[in-house]
A and B are shown apart, each in its own frame.
Chain A
C-alpha cells in the first residue's frame, strides 16, 4: 500500500491564458489531515478540483490511490474521494436523509437509486456527525452549522478513504467551527479516513494536532507549494507573512492546563 493517497507531479493548469497552477508538486499522505493554505485566488480550489476530477488539466500527473485521475470515471473517483463543498445552495429542500443518501450514488448502479443497505450506511454517517435527530427535516430549515454536518455526513456515507473539504468552516460561528473540526479529527483518528482541507486559518493545523490527529500543513503561493510538512516547521511567522502578504508572528504560550500551545498573531498587512 502506498503511503500517499494523492500524488500530484508537475501540474500545470490555466483558465484561458491565466496560469493558476505552475508545475505544482503535492502529496496527501494516508491517515492524516493535510491543511492546504494560501491567499484567496491562489489556486486551492483549482487544485482540489483537479484531484476530484472536476477540472481537466493541461499537463502533469495526478494519481488518486495510484490511478491516473484523467483515466477514471466519475463513479470510480467518487468511491475514492468524497467532497464537502464550501457554499451550498439547494433549489429543492430535500430531507436530510435524502441529502445524505445522495452520497451513496456511486454504489447505485447505472439506473436505480440507493437500497436498504445504503440507508443503513447513511444512518450510521448521520449518527457519526450527530444529525440523526434531524433526518426527516427539510434540509433548507437547518442552520449553517447543521448544513455543514449534513454535507460531512454525505461525504462519510460515500465510504471513500479521502475526504476533500473546501473551506468547510467559512461562515460558521466559533462553536460550530470547533465542532466540525473535532468530528474531522475524530474520523481521521478512529475511522481510517484521510482529509485534505483547504482553509484560511493557519491555526486549524495546530488545532488538529491538539486534537490528536496526525496533521500536515501545506502553504500555496503563485500556483506552487511554497512549503509543506509538519505544522510546526511549515507555519512560522516568516512563512505566513510571506504567503499571505501580512506581518504575522507565531506566539508560543503555556495554556492554563499546562500544555504548550501555539497561536498566530496578526499585526498589519505587509507594505
Chain B
C-alpha cells in the first residue's frame, strides 16, 4: 500500500513538472526560434541584436525582429488556435475524431484563397477572402443543417460535410481554370500551409484569435457538460443552444483566422488535443489550456524545422504530420490509450 501511495506521489510530482514545462514552453520556444534559420547569425550576434541593437547591421536586425519574431508569434498563435478549436469541437460534438475543418472552415477558406489568387492577384486579398469564406462556409453549414427551426448536432455535422464538399468542388474548378505556371503553384503552396510570408501587417488576425481563445477558455467547463449530450447538459443547468453557439462560434473564429495567416494546416487540430488528453485527462478545465500550450510549442518547432532543414522552405503542412506522427505513436504506446473510452 505504502509503495503505491509513494508511486502515486512521484507520478503526481512528475505530472506537475511536465505541466509547468508545457506551460512555459511556448515562451521559451519563441525565444529559441530567434536563433534558428538559414541566414547565418551566431548565438552571440542574436544576443547582440536583441540587447544592443546599435551593434548590428540593418539586415541582421530585420532578420530577427521583422522575420523570425513575427513568424514565431504567428506560429504560436495558429498552433494554439487550431489545437484549442479541435479540443472544443471534439467536446461539443461528442466525437474524438473531429477536427477544426469539420464545419467547412478549411474548404471555405481554401476557396476564398483560390478566388483571391486567381481573380484579384492574391496578396492581401488572399487573407481577407479566405477569412470571409471560412466564416461563410460555417454559416452555410449551419443553415443547411437546420431542420424545422432546430439545429441538431447530426444536422450541423451533415451540413458541414455537404458544404465542405461543395467548396471542395469549387476549389477544383478554381484549380482547373488557374494559370498553371503562376497561379496553380501559389494555390498549391497555400494549401500546404506556411508562415514564410508572415509579417506584422497580418497581426490583425490575432484579435479574433485572442477573442475566440478567451471565449473558449471561459466556457471550458461547459464543454465537459455539453459532451454529456443535449438532454443531460440541459438538466445539469446549461443553456445548450447558447453555449454551443459561443463555443462553436469561438472555435470557428480562431480556425478561420489561423487559416488566413498560414493557409490550411491539418493534423494539429485533430491530434494535439489527444496528446493533451494523454497528459492531463479529458477534463476540459485542464485540457483547453494544455492544448493551447502544446499546439503553440509544436507549431513553433515545426516552423523552425521548416525554415532550416533545407535551403528551400518546406511547407509546414507537410511537416506537421511527418514529424508529429512518430511522436503521437510514441505517446500512444506509452500511455496505452487510456484516455479513450474503448481503451
Contacts and interface: CB of A to CB of B under 8 A. Distances in A.
Interface of A: 49, 52-54, 73-75, 77-79, 81-83, 85, 88, 90-95, 98, 102-103, 105-106, 108, 111-114, 138, 140, 158
A92 B224 CA distance: 9
Interface of B: 91, 94-96, 218-222, 224-225, 227-228, 231-232, 234-240, 277, 281-283, 285, 338-341, 343
A102 B95 contact: no
Contacts of B232: 83, 85, 88
Contacts of A94: 224, 281-283
Interface SS majority for chain B: loop
26 contacts: A52-B235, A53-B234, A54-B235, A75-B238, A79-B237, A83-B236, A85-B231, A88-B232, A90-B227, A91-B95, A92-B341, A94-B283, A98-B283, A102-B225, A105-B236, A105-B237, A106-B236, A106-B237, A111-B218, A111-B219, A112-B221, A113-B220, A113-B224, A114-B221, A140-B341, A158-B236
The 5 tightest CB contacts between A and B, nearest first, are A78-B237, A113-B221, A106-B237, A111-B218, A92-B282
Contact of A91 (B96, B220, B234, B237): B96
A91 B221 contact: no
B283 A93 contact: no
A75 B239 contact: yes
Contacts of B236: 78, 83, 102-103, 105-106, 158
B243 to A, nearest CB: 10
Nearest to B91: A92
Contacts of A85: 231-232
Contacts of B240: 74
A256 B223 CA distance: 53
Given A53-B235, A102-B236, A113-B221, 4 more contacts: A53-B234, A92-B282, A93-B343, A95-B283
A92 B98 CA distance: 13
A92 B238 contact: no
Given A78-B236, A105-B222, A114-B221, A49 B231 contact: yes
B151 to A, nearest CB: 15
A71 to B, nearest CB: 14
Contacts of B239: 73-75
B231 A91 contact: no
Contacts of A105: 221-222, 225, 236-238
Q: Which of B96, B221, B338, B339 has the most CB of A within 10 A?
A: B221
Contacts of B228: 90, 102
A93 B341 CA distance: 5
A102 B229 CA distance: 13
B94 A78 contact: no
A93 B237 contact: no
A243 B95 CA distance: 41
B224 A91 contact: no
Nearest to B217: A111
A53 B222 CA distance: 19
A246 B95 CA distance: 43
B94 A74 contact: no
B235 A78 contact: yes
B15 to A, nearest CB: 13
Contacts of A91: 94-96, 227, 341
